[in-house]
Amino acid sequence: MSGRLTIKDIFKVDGSGVPYLKLVIYGPSLSGKTSMLTVYNVLRKVEDPETIYSSLKKIDDPSGRTIFYDQSTFELPKGQGVSFPKLRYQVWTVAGQKRHYIQRKVVLEGADGLIFMFDPSKNMWDDNVESLTELISLKGDVLGKSLPFIVVLNKIDLPAEERMATDKFLDLLIEKKLSNNKGEAYMRVIETSCLQARNELMTLLRSPDIKSKLDEYGRLKKGARPLSVQKVAQPIEQLTREIVIHRVKSARPE
C-alpha cells in the first residue's frame, strides 16, 4: 500500500473538517433515552466542558416526549483519541412514540453505532419487542456486523416485582438472532438507572465535600463518578471506543 493512512480514510468528516462518529440511542417511548443523554451532558459539563462541542438540543413536546430527536456532540478528551488529534462523537436519540416512525428513520441515517434501550417495566414488554423488531427491519442486515450495538436495560431501580427479568431480554436477543447464546447476549447488556444516576450526580455536586472531588481547574475527577453515573456513561463511551478500534484495525494494511 502506498502512502500513509490519514484520519479521513477511516472516519467521515464534519463541516469543519473534523472526523466524527454518529451514535443513535433507539428504543420504545419512555424507556429513558432522553434521560440518558441529559445525564451524560451534565457529566461532561462538570468533568470537562471543553469536550462538549455542541450542547444538548431537544426537540420535544410540552410534556417532555421527544418528537424528533435530542442531539449533542462531544469531543474525546485531549490525549484519548488513540493517536488522532481530534474526534467528535455525535449522540442522537430517537422519538420513541410509535407515530414518529419517519423521524426515527431519518435519525438512523448514517449511524455508526447503536444503543438499544429496553424498558423493563412489566407493562412495556410488547413495546420493547415492537421497537426492537422495527430496528431490525430497518438495520437488521448490518446490526451487530458493520453497525456495532450495545443494549441498555434501564430502570433497574424498579422493584423486582414490577420488572421483567434480565433473562427474558437475553432470550429476546437470541430469538431475534442478535446473539448466539446467553453468555454472548449478556456481554452486550449494560444495566442502568438513569434516574438513580441523575439523583446521585446532583447529590454529589451539592455535597459539602465536593471540593475534594475536583481537580485544580474545578473539574470533577474521572474517578469521582458514582457507579450509577458511570453505568450511564459506559454505553456511549464503550461504543465510541469499540467503533474507533474496529475502524482503525480494519483500515490498517495487512
Q: Which residues bind ligand GTP (CB under 6 A)?
A: 29-35, 64-66, 93, 95-97, 154-155, 157-158, 193-195
Q: Which residue's C-beta sits nearest to ligand GTP? A: 96
**3-state SS, one letter per residue, for 61-123:** CCCCCEEEEEEEEEECCCCCCCCCCCCEEEEEEECCCHHHHHHHHHHHCCCCEEEEEECCEHH
Binding mask 64-103 for Mg ion (x = CB under 5 A): --x-------------------------------------
Beta bridge partners of 152: 117, 190
Minimal distance, residue 5 CB to Mg ion, in Å: 38
Which of Mg ion, ligand GTP, none lies near 136, with the C-beta cut-off 5 to 8 A by kind? none
Minimal distance, residue 72 CB to Mg ion, in Å: 13
| Residues 151, 188 contacting (CB under 8 angstroms) | yes
Task: Figure out which of the listed residues 31, 34, 128, 131 binds Mg ion, where binding follows CB under 5 A.
Answer: 34
Helices (H) and strands (E) in the chain — how many of each?
8, 8
| Residues 103, 94 contacting (CB under 8 angstroms) | yes
Cα–Cα distance, 252 to 254 (Å, whole number): 6
| Residues 21, 240 contacting (CB under 8 angstroms) | yes
Query: 220 vs 232, which CB is nearer to Mg ion?
Result: 232
Minimal distance, residue 38 CB to ligand GTP, in Å: 7
Which of Mg ion, ligand GTP, none lies near 64, with the C-beta cut-off 5 to 8 A by kind? ligand GTP
Q: Which residues bind Mg ion (CB under 5 A)?
A: 33-34, 66
